[in-house]
A = this chain, B = another copy of it.
Amino acid sequence: MNNGTNSQLLKGSLSVVILRLLEEREKMYGYEITQKVKELTAGEMAITEGALYPALHKLEAEGLLTTEIQVVDGRARKYYSLTKDGHREAVSRVSELTAFLQNLQTILNVGFKPAL
């Protein structure tokens, strides 16, 4: 995951992003995921393929994703879908990450007094 200038930020969130997107879309292929992230963040965030594909392979090896290859317009696409375990993990990891982000926000807002 790449956020413009600072590229070494927030390791560990990529797999959660993948699982979260697949909760909404039934099945997606790698390239589609990269485009979806760009679209959602107005080009501010980009997933590199060197990170994405190993992450997808790992999730598949862990039994959270299954694959299915389709040829569209002469090009092979490898579609990924959540397994049952993948669904469970998606819910679990998203709520974990959300809790973490809230704690992080709390720390970043130290000393900030909101208007009443």
Contacts and interface: CB of A to CB of B under 8 A. Distances in A.
Interface in A13-43: 13, 16-17, 20-21, 23-24, 37, 40-41
Interface string A78-102: 0000000000000001101111110
Interface in A98-113: 98-101, 103-108, 110-111
Contacts of A97: 9-10, 104, 108
Interface of A is mostly: helix
A8 interface: yes
Interface of A: 3, 5-6, 8-13, 16-17, 20-21, 23-24, 37, 40-41, 44-45, 93-94, 96-101, 103-108, 110-111
